Structure 1
């Protein structure tokens, strides 16, 4: 390991570029010299080795003569999956525990070990199951893994998945959120150097497993991770083992799963049978509760913590979005809502058992805009009852019609999973998966129809090919679509406006060449302004979403909330900043660098948004700030104001405190 590190450092000192190909050559050469397996020198092992030497053997590390500039280059070479923080933020996805689902969609998998629609083989789900769905442990494990892969973890976006958030008891929701913040505040597994103090052995995901019978966790809890604070003993684990239920009996679980797959039990009946009769899970539920005061205490700690939450996402259904629910979700710290739309064709929704009216989807979009949330919608092609041409028209309506126009989309094809009710329709010949050409053709047209203010975040679910009975099994579907897009663009001159296709990602950018563009569009609830920093080639380096709410919509919301006994969170004459994002590799808070994040682009976006709001006649501007960005906005002149941060706008449109 040391020999490879030293060779990389020598190459960097000579001004040479060490890319993945060069690194592979170094690894293979060292394996030959050592007469060992090249996997022993794999890239994923090099960075943890470097971090361990720096932390535990400072004299040895000092002999390597590493300057800050040299270390930056070394980390860049050794970093695993650099795209994970290329948007400027490190993402941690956590999964809530299995729970009855209020929906009954025929395409949803029914894996009784998971929340509805998720499979145990999906990476985030596998990590959650290993941690017994404990949120503290899930966050701690990912912090360790991200650090060991070379990613800065100062700015974290938390994504909470698990079906419909509002289906869970409120006490569980608050507890889950408190534990997420507490894990980040405690910095339970990651030390200053990126090393971790853990009990037992660990797998590649970074989760530590306590040996059965050890003091880290009771043997009855099985392979429960016991992440402890650096320097703490195993007995003082920084989580409560009582909150992590024992694993289910695999034989009983498999038997119940077969009943569900064969259609003899519903998912909800299976959940009641497996978990409702488990003493461990009932006891866990008894302690999985917290007060809002406890959550807000952890939120205040996070404002200046090492790992700050700069975005918090929850997942729900359109029919679960009400003003009262959004008030509660906002108090918990959420800034973005993932919402399962799937289609805006009522015929298709009905055929697939969605149980949702298009009017409910329209209302959900308007409410989310008025509350300032970023809207991340799920949309599916190849659903039962649709066709390639119908899919194209459905998506065009979704991204262009005033009532919808999402900020972000998970656009993916329907895939047949054995445990879904779609299997019966497939076997009856009523549904078929699109051919590859049909599917890629639909997705190409959908991406081309996506406007400049919308980001297509994903094109596949994380289902393994072994779980998919019929449908797309290629994990590189997006790359296939983008390759065809580039070919088509060269032939026809059509340009892709969608955000992800244009992101600067890890590229350097000449800030002097950037221009600030404003893309206006209308919705029933607000006039929207999408501000974007773009390069001469049209690539995007940062953006801001500004909503100018319509007075009638604000007054209608206020009336509805007062009737429910809630104080309206927004008032007439107040504009709303729904999102500010500047691209570039995630850097540590306060650390200077050459990425786009470090040139004041965010502040300039906010200042321009204030000018636009002032010109439109608004007197104040709110921002739906995440807990970890409150300090940033305070420095810009915003003050805490209810569910948001707010500032008055001077007549010339500049920020004004007070």
Structure 2
């Protein structure tokens, strides 16, 4: 690993990002027309017992209830939530949207444009006529949109969908995978193949997106050992290897096909203790470049007939890992804010750590500033040497792409000998410098692109990047540097 030491640290400032989850209007699942039905475990949707809810939600989740109160109006959902976060004492200078409510990309283009336009307008205060105009004004807004995450399925993550999402200002995708087994995908009526999952990961990463996978342990006809094996495959097979994971153990909910199987004794959930064991074993497998965003759904417990019985599953799994002598080294567990809150631990000796791996047809480099002694993560950068199959014109030829830059804390060194040492140089800038060096000297790239949230484009302009399509791009060989 390439290592650079920074020195003793104090005075920690966290990047405060307000996460605003919004929901699109209820609509039928797109694969009903192909398979004749929805997935066996899926609650919600316009035809379900939970009438006014979106597909795969019950209408009783906090985000669902806020959306229903706003009658699914994207502008009102955003304004209400931002105001609410402000009143709770959160900083709302930087906002990240999560677009929930089933497969957003299956909705008509006109509705999607209306929805995204209103998200940007709710932050900028401008009334736009189209998405491009909304994005332009959002760029200059005092409340910055630092990213948009969109939930989708592998069959709605094709080239045209990815290009649309880039134009929206989206930077991260949450793709419903659920299982890496073809027989399970077929038996649960997923409506797509596992091969489609691998292809969607490849296309998405080659377009610069961060990829978060939704996975469901405890599906019918799988069993404990096969569940563990699928996560080993998921993290070690280069055809998968996601950047993030949302772990959603299977829930039995009234009105689903799975409920009928459970009622007639043809499906049985793991016991609470076995489920904690399984989640503990899964978390021990997570590589240090993957972030586990969630460990269970936020569906209210009274609506769950069988499945997860505890609201603090992650906490129980981490406690079980201590007993087992294993540890979770995912991004979230190690990030500086979490470490300070839970363990009162602050970084002392910070180094630049580099991890390289192959994933989805490309060469990935995970750069991070860490305190290796205490295993604390301060900032990270995901760099990719795109595969030759990259479909975006801006990324063709010798181009590398930064898929994520995130600094969890800015650390200022205390050094009487050299007080100015780090005063004007942040970790983000140093990570970008190293990414430029690797792209030029090792990848042999002529240009470096960044998939940037609309509101963070000016940060990259200060580093010499210019807008090219939806990306911020810099020529690595200036005049006379060939």
Shift of 1:510: 6.2
> How many Å separate the matches in 1 of 2:103 and 2:175?
9
Corresponding residue SS for 2:203: helix
- Aligned ranges for residues 143-292 of structure 1 at < 5 Å? 143-186=82-125
CA contact (8 A) 2:336 2:347 kept: no
> How many Å separate the matches in 1 of 2:345 and 2:258?
47
> How many Å separate the matches in 2 of 1:488 and 1:442?
12
What is aligned with 2:473?
646
1:497 to 314, 317, 329: 329
Corresponding residue SS for 2:384: strand
Is 1:95 paired with 2:43? no
Is 1:117 paired with 2:45? no
What is aligned with 2:383?
546
Corresponding residue SS for 2:317: helix
What is aligned with 1:315?
151
1:410-457 per-position Cα deviation (integer Å, ceiling 9, x unaligned): 012000110211111111211111011211111111111110110111
Corresponding residue SS for 1:381: coil
Shift of 1:307: 1.1
> How many Å separate the matches in 2 of 1:597 and 1:544?
21
TM-score by length of 2: 0.87
Greater radius of gyration (CA): 1
CA contact (8 A) 1:520 1:530 kept: yes
Residues 448, 313 of structure 1: alpha-carbon distance in 2 compared, 3 angstrom cutoff: same
Residues 509, 639 of structure 1: alpha-carbon distance in 2 compared, 3 angstrom cutoff: farther
> How many Å separate the matches in 2 of 1:544 and 1:143?
28
Shift of 1:496: 2.4
Corresponding residue SS for 1:386: coil
CA contact (8 A) 2:40 2:256 kept: yes
CA contact (8 A) 1:453 1:498 kept: yes
Shift of 1:473: 2.6
- The alignment of Structure 1 onto Structure 2 pairs a total of residues equal to 442
Residues 401, 526 of structure 1: alpha-carbon distance in 2 compared, 3 angstrom cutoff: same
What is aligned with 1:575?
400
> How many Å separate the matches in 1 of 2:109 and 2:424?
39
CA contact (8 A) 1:88 1:582 kept: no
Shift of 1:92: 0.3
What is aligned with 1:225?
none
> How many Å separate the matches in 2 of 1:452 and 1:135?
35
> How many Å separate the matches in 1 of 2:215 and 2:480?
40
Residues 146, 496 of structure 1: alpha-carbon distance in 2 compared, 3 angstrom cutoff: same
1:117-176 per-position Cα deviation (integer Å, ceiling 9, x unaligned): 011110000000000000111111111111111111011110000111121110100110
2:41 to 72, 82, 107: 107
1:577-628 per-position Cα deviation (integer Å, ceiling 9, x unaligned): 000011149xxxxxxxxxx999601111111111111122111000001100
> How many Å separate the matches in 1 of 2:183 and 2:92?
45
> How many Å separate the matches in 2 of 1:650 and 1:509?
42
RMSD between aligned alpha carbons? 2.4
Is 1:452 paired with 2:288? yes
CA contact (8 A) 1:88 1:584 kept: no
- Structure 2 unpaired stretches of 5+: 1-12, 32-37, 45-49, 411-421
More strand by share: 2
> How many Å separate the matches in 1 of 2:55 and 2:279?
26
- Structure 1 unpaired stretches of 5+: 1-84, 188-237, 239-289, 559-567, 586-595
CA contact (8 A) 1:407 1:453 kept: yes
TM-score by length of 1: 0.64
Is 1:608 paired with 2:434? yes
More helix by share: 1
Is 1:298 paired with 2:130? no
- Aligned ranges for residues 387-536 of structure 1 at < 5 Å? 387-489=223-325, 494-505=326-337, 507=340, 513-535=349-371, 536=373
> How many Å separate the matches in 2 of 1:528 and 1:656?
29
Residues 577, 656 of structure 1: alpha-carbon distance in 2 compared, 3 angstrom cutoff: farther
- Aligned ranges for residues 61-140 of structure 1 at < 5 Å? 88-103=16-31, 104-110=38-44, 111-140=50-79
> How many Å separate the matches in 1 of 2:423 and 2:195?
39
> How many Å separate the matches in 2 of 1:118 and 1:521?
36
CA contact (8 A) 1:531 1:545 kept: yes
Corresponding residue SS for 1:513: coil
> How many Å separate the matches in 2 of 1:379 and 1:607?
35
Please, which moves more after superposition, 352-361 or 498-507?
Answer: 498-507
Q: Which has the higher contact order (CA 8 A, sep 6+)?
A: 2
> How many Å separate the matches in 2 of 1:471 and 1:599?
49
Residues 423, 512 of structure 1: alpha-carbon distance in 2 compared, 3 angstrom cutoff: closer
> How many Å separate the matches in 1 of 2:360 and 2:93?
37
